[in-house]
Amino acid sequence: MQFPRILEKWNYDIIKELVDKNYFETEFFDFKANLQAPLKQEKIVCAFANTNGGFLIFGVGDIKTTDRIIGIDRKRDLSKEFYDKIRMINPSINFEFKQPPIQIPHSDKIVPVCYIPRSNERPHITRENHFYIRTSGGCNEKMNYNAIRESFYGFEQRKIKIEMLSLELAYLDIILKKMIVPESEMEDKYFLYEAESSLLVDLMGQTYSVIKDDWRLISLLLGIRGDLGSLNQTRRSFFFEPSVPVMGRTALYRQYNQKIKEFVDILTKNINEALAILKEKYGIEIPTEKTFVFNKSE
């Protein structure tokens, strides 16, 4: 049987079918009659976050009974109760409950489903300083030394790639601003910057496994990539227009600024939003112009 891998796809019929087929737990989901004691809840959540993510389905008994789907009182603030159980996990773990919760037919009880994604900040540790992973059989096992070392190495590699992405976005932001020719320099020899997208595209590929669940960030990066291509195409075609040779330098650059500025304004806005997401969600410090060294002749 195929199990839902998206929170929104869980429903009562799927849960009922799993129960009827005597499923209790797998690598990707776990049935629980209620919230667990803090230490046990931490263990389960860390195991999901440190492995491939998974779903906790509450209100379904995990032992053989006549009716395993017992439900949860809908008046409970289960999300807050859940957070209180796992707040000592370090670093903290993201989770999401299905909204609205699944209603049990002909009952006032609900079946809450909680999604714990595979964490970009793994490995996570419990208050007892133990690391756990989820096995293919649905068990939560302590990570051995090699697994912990590999996980920390992977974390450092992911962090470096995200930092490189942030650095490239900050660099592009600076280059875009330099593409607008200052009025005072229009009569002088001026180096026209071009914001290339090749490195950004490469870094998007390298960091996709980390940011794939952040649809807003991915949307921004795809938009930035597309707008950079349009900007550079406009810039290049502009200087091949037949009217360029007969125009004065000042008039030429004024027309150039007018055509380019619209792209630059949109790109700058989207780049700054993407950098803000990287700072908030991944703890990356946003580079400043002082981070980069430009040739004074430029």
What pLDDT, in 10s, does the model give residues 121-177? 899 999 999 999 999 889 999 999 898 998 888 888 888 999 999 999 999 999 998
Among the listed ranges 104-113, 187-196, 268-277, which one has the minimum average pLDDT value? 187-196
pLDDT in tens, 230-288: 998 888 877 665 545 555 677 777 888 888 899 999 999 999 999 999 988 888 887 77
Residues 66, 119 within the same domain: yes
Q: Which of 143, 175, 198 is the last residue of a domain?
A: 143
Confidence of residue 298 (pLDDT cuts 50, 70, 90): very low
Could you tell me if residue 297 is inside a domain?
A: no
Q: Which domain holds residue 278?
A: 153-291
Cα separation, 210 vs 92, in Å, equals 17
Residues 6+ apart with CB under 8 A from 1: 17, 18, 21, 23
Count of CB atoms within 10 A of residue 99's CB?
10
Could you tell me if residue 213 is inside a domain?
A: yes
pLDDT value, residue 1: 74
Could you tell me if residue 27 is inside a domain?
A: yes
Residues 195, 109 within the same domain: no
Count of CB atoms within 10 A of residue 278's CB?
23
Q: Which of 115, 143, 171 is the last residue of a domain?
A: 143
Residues 214, 130 within the same domain: no
pLDDT of 292 higher than 80: no
Residues 17, 118 within the same domain: yes
Find tokens 């603030």 and name the residue. 77
Could you tell me if residue 92 is inside a domain?
A: yes
pLDDT of 191 higher than 80: no
The two three-digit tokens of residue 251, written as one number: 């008039």
pLDDT value, residue 297: 47
Taking CB atoms within 8 Å and a gap of at least 24, the contacts of 291-297 are 291/167, 291/170, 292/170, 292/171, 292/174, 297/191
Residues 120, 35 within the same domain: yes
Could you tell me if residue 2 is inside a domain?
A: no
Residues 159, 277 within the same domain: yes
Question: Which is more confident, 289 or 152?
Answer: 152
pLDDT value, residue 253: 78
Could you tell me if residue 296 is inside a domain?
A: no
Residues 264, 139 within the same domain: no
Residues 91, 42 within the same domain: yes
Residues 157, 285 within the same domain: yes
pLDDT value, residue 241: 55
Asked if 56 contacts 116 with a C-beta cutoff of 8 angstroms, the reply is: yes
pLDDT value, residue 190: 59
Best-predicted range by mean pLDDT (36-45, 157-166, 195-204, 213-222): 36-45
Could you tell me if residue 1 is inside a domain?
A: no
Cα separation, 25 vs 263, in Å, equals 52
Taking residues 190-218, what's their average pLDDT? 86
Q: How many domains does the chain have?
A: 2
CATH of the domain at 93: 3.30.950.30
Could you tell me if residue 148 is inside a domain?
A: no
